[in-house]
Amino acid sequence: MNCRSEVLEVTVEARQVEEAMLALLHTILLHRSSGKFHYKKEGTYSIGTVGTLDIDCDFIDFTFVRVSSEELDRGIRRAVSEFKDALSITGSDGMGQISLEFYQKKKSRWPFSDECIPWEVWSIKVNVVNLANEQERQICREKVGEKLGEKVINVVEVINRHEYLPKMPTQSEVDNVFDTSLKDVQPYLYKITYQITDTLGTSVSTTMRRLIKDTLAL
């Protein structure tokens, strides 16, 4: 099965990184979260209710909708926070990419560990810029708000193509498809990773890989 891959690109100021990432990731997860499944006898199940919440951004003229689940929000914020810190370490004008990957688990026989097969990957490329004065920052607030609006429309467009989604699982398989650890909602299994590109344009991981390869080659 092919993994669907979508790339979104945004240019923001350093202080807008967190909110921009939260806006986009939450928008995607809103569409990829379901209510909690309650399996009944005869193989049927009922689904819980997903609430929503409007969030106003402080540094961007934008409001986004997220799932009303504090646990989910905490998880996303943690990941975004790490990403933001990693970006700021590299210096002022940084570039990075945060990826939200939805995957299915495939149980393998011992001694092999379970496989994680992604079926949808969203990559958000971030360019961080520095602005000189307050006027530019004001303009940036509005512009980034508009851009995020466009990205939300892009996300919605992709999702509404109704392409591959994992089959609804039986009770025994539900943990291979959904993240059932949350109390109130049930998103598809996901993980968030990121990579930072240093100012030379190469990603840090490729530099490290090259170093190790060179060392081993000696």
> Closer to other proteins at the Cβ: 45 or 204?
45
- Cβ-contact 18, 84 below 8 angstroms: yes
From CA 119, how far away is CA 116, in angstroms rounded?
10
Q: Which is nearer to other proteins, 67 or 76 (CB)?
A: 67
**CA–CA dist 202, 75 (Å, integer):** 28
Q: What is the DSSP letter of 81?
A: H
Least Å distance, CB 103 to other proteins, is: 19
**Residue ranges that bind other proteins, judged by CB under 8 A:** 27, 30-31, 34-36, 38, 46-54, 56, 61, 63-65, 67-69, 133-135, 138, 142, 149, 152-153, 155-157, 159-160, 162, 168, 183-185
Which is closer to other proteins, CB of 48 or CB of 91? 48
- Count of Cβ atoms closer than 10 Å to residue 154 Cβ: 15
**Cis peptide leading into residue 111 (ω within 30°):** yes
104 or 197: CB nearest other proteins? 104
Work out how close the CB of 179 gets to other proteins at its nearest, in angstroms, rounded to a whole number: 14
Is the separation of the CB atoms in 157 and 149 below 8 Å?
no
Closest approach, Cβ 64 to other proteins, in A, equals 6
Distance of closest approach, residue 28 Cβ to other proteins, in angstroms? 10
Half-sphere CA count of 114, side-chain side, radius 13 A: 11
Least distance to other proteins, CB of residue 191, Å: 22
Pick 51 or 91: Cβ nearer other proteins: 51
End-to-end CA distance of the chain: 40
